[in-house]
Amino acid sequence: MRLAADVPKELAGKRAVVTGGSRGIGAAIVQHFLDAGASVVTSARSATEDTPSAATFVKADLSTRDGVREFADAALETLGGVDIVVNNAGGCRAFQSALDIENDWQYTMDINFLAAVRLNSALVPAMRESGGGAIVHVSSIATISSYPMILHYAAAKSALETYSKGLAAQLAPEGIRVVAVSLGNVMTPGADEAREKIVDYLGAESEEWADEIPLGRLGQPQDIAEAVGFLASPRAAWITGSSLVIDGGKIAAL
């Protein structure tokens, strides 16, 4: 992990909005942006001890229309505009049969897909006023290789990636880049809980997750933050409409 002093200040003066930034991957992205010189507003249902203190935290439920609107308004009021948006909020609460549609499908679509659609719609006008910017969608390799009990999550992330490509084509002439990152197994509190639930659902005693990864380890939040930091930076000025797989080589090895 690089020290803050070692991170180039390539985002100095930039205004960034990051959802799901209270812990794990989101908190790592927020801290990376802060270290790179950006001003950051982030959100979650509640802050944690891992939420970077230098960011402005807004409590918000982004699975609802009102929650997204209130967060967008607060971010614009705080920052005065926006240059970077990272739609990181996501996950699923239930691990279930793909036929159990009443349990968790709507929430999973709302938080993983529609939250990004709604937030982008609210913030893109400000990005146009700024003359351009970058939007990063945090997706998952579940879209490629999905466990049946998280099919609702995989479907929502698949919708997010399709939307991301189409939005990139629409906004490119205005200087707004749109990219996605498709993540494998990363060590975060939320992912640890999910892995335990998957093992329980399968009725297994344990699952050697790292054995499936050619690089031999689970990802760290900083691995993702470094990639997102690059994609949001001027160094990625000719990258849009694509999805970067960050999974330690798992999909390539299938």
- Amino acid sitting at position 141: I
Candidate list 107, 147, 153, 201, residue with the active-site label? 153
- Closest by CA to 240, choosing from 155, 150, 176, 146, is 176
Sign for the CA dihedral angle at 239, 7, 183, 159 comes to negative
What is the full DSSP assignment across 190-250? HHHHHHHHHHHHHT-S---GGGG-TTSS-B-HHHHHHHHHHHHSGGGTT--S-EEEESTTH
User: Which position has the token pair 């990004």?
Assistant: 116
3-state DSSP assignment of residue 92: coil
Active site residue 153: yes
Paired residues of 44 in beta bridges: 59
Residues forming beta bridges with residue 245, ordered by sequence position: 182
Only one residue has tokens 């699923």, namely: 92
The catalytic residues are 153
